[in-house]
Amino acid sequence: MSYNFNNAIIRKTNKNIQNGLSSQNLHPQYEMVLNEHNNYVKAIKEAGLKIHILEPLEKYPDSIFVEDPALTYKSNLIILNPFDRSRNGEKDIIKEEIKHLFDNILLVENGFVEGGDILNINNHFIVGLSNRTNKLGAENLSNILKKLGATVDICKTPEDILHFKSECSVIDDDVILVSYKMAKLDYLKSNYNLIELPIGEEGASNSLRINDKLLLPDGFVKAEEILSKKYNIIKLKVDEISKVDAGLSCMSLRW
Ligand code: CIR
């Protein structure tokens, strides 16, 4: 199942996170990010995962978002190609740091694609085209995944959303939690059961289902009301990391 995991890779917070890419030009404070990140690590442990910790990379302000330069599928590690110049070098570093954990290493060599644009549901992947993932990158990744036995569809991320997964997450078999903007995508509407969150609760659509736990951003009353009926929720503050457009899914790489 798409939410059953045993392992997670997490990178320690770097002090330079204050200079991370931010669509609103905000600068999170290191100590506050550290606090949110520590609670995140605790929650991942509580969900039963073995954590592989990577050292901080001061040269790369956004490097705690380990989901973007790499993708795991079965025992394969696929090194992606982040679009932004300030992030692109993360891919070579993470490859060397984690390759020993996988049987097979593959590379996206043409075009750009970031992990935040890749939604995995069982054997299927949805790759969202965005300002960070282009057609060439999506097709290159799609060819790699298909050779590994997966199925892939390429879909368009709504214009003002950073990554496809910024506003949606798989929370159950064939159930995707979505913001109202993502709920409008015909592709999602016709293929999945969607739980749509109301306007104002977009932040909660970047949740993270891990085994029997659902990690949910704190402060979203409606989302909590809807989801607590069925899911075992761990609420986590993401106020500080959201200043650099980040959420729960991007701070770990899971398999
Ligand atoms: C960036 O713009 O690349 C970072 N500030 C945030 C990346 C968030 N990644 C993700 O949601 N997968």
Per the domain annotation, does 140 fall within a domain?
yes
End-to-end alpha carbon distance in the chain: 11
Kindly report whether the global pTM for this prediction surpasses the value 0.95. Answer: yes
Mean pLDDT (the chain, rounded): 97
In a domain, residue 113? The reply is yes
Kindly state the average pLDDT of the residues 205-227.
Answer: 98
The answer to whether residue 2 sits within a structural domain is no
- Beta-strand relationship, 7-11 and 253-254: antiparallel
Q: What is the CATH number of the domain that holds 168?
A: 3.75.10.10
Residue 2 has pLDDT above 90, yes or no: no
82-140 tens-digit pLDDT:
999 999 999 999 999 999 999 999 999 999 999 999 999 999 999 999 999 999 999 99
Instruction: Evaluate whether residue 92 is within a structural domain.
Output: yes
Query: Ligand 1 test: best mutation among 11, 57, 62, most atoms within 8 Å of CB?
Result: 62
Q: CA of 168: how far to CAs of 33, 72, 118, in Å? A: 23, 19, 11
Which single residue is written with the structure tokens 């043409």? 110
Strand-pair partners of 213: 210, 232
Distance (angstroms) between ligand 1 centre and the Cα of 229 equals 30
Residue 138, classed as helix, strand or coil, is helix
Q: Examine the pLDDT at 7 and tell me if it is beyond 90.
A: yes
The tokens of 123 are what?
């054997």
How many structural domains does the chain have? 1
The HSE-up count of residue 117 (CA atoms within 13 Å, CB side) is 33
> How many CB atoms are closer than 10 A to CB 109?
10
Phi, psi of 172 (to 5 degrees): -160, 175
Please indicate, yes or no, if residue 1 is contained in any of the structural domains: no
207 belongs to a structural domain = yes
Q: How far is the CA of 83 from the centre of ligand 1 (A)?
A: 11
**Ligand 1 atom closest to residue 206's alpha carbon, by position in its atom list:** 11
The predicted pLDDT at position 37 comes to 98
Distance 89 CA to ligand 1 centre (A): 15
At residue 1 the predicted structure's pLDDT band, cuts being 50, 70 and 90, is confident
The whole-number pLDDT of residue 187 equals 97
Burial pattern 113-136, b for ≥16 Cβ within 10 A else e, equals bbbbbbbbbeeebbbbbbbbbbee
Residue closest by Cα to atom 8 of ligand 1: 246
**Distance (Å) from CA 245 to ligand 1 centroid:** 6
Range of the domain at 61: 7-254
Q: Is 245 left (phi over 0), alpha (psi -120 to 50) or beta?
A: left
> With contact defined as beta carbons under 8 Å apart, do 246 and 4 qualify?
no
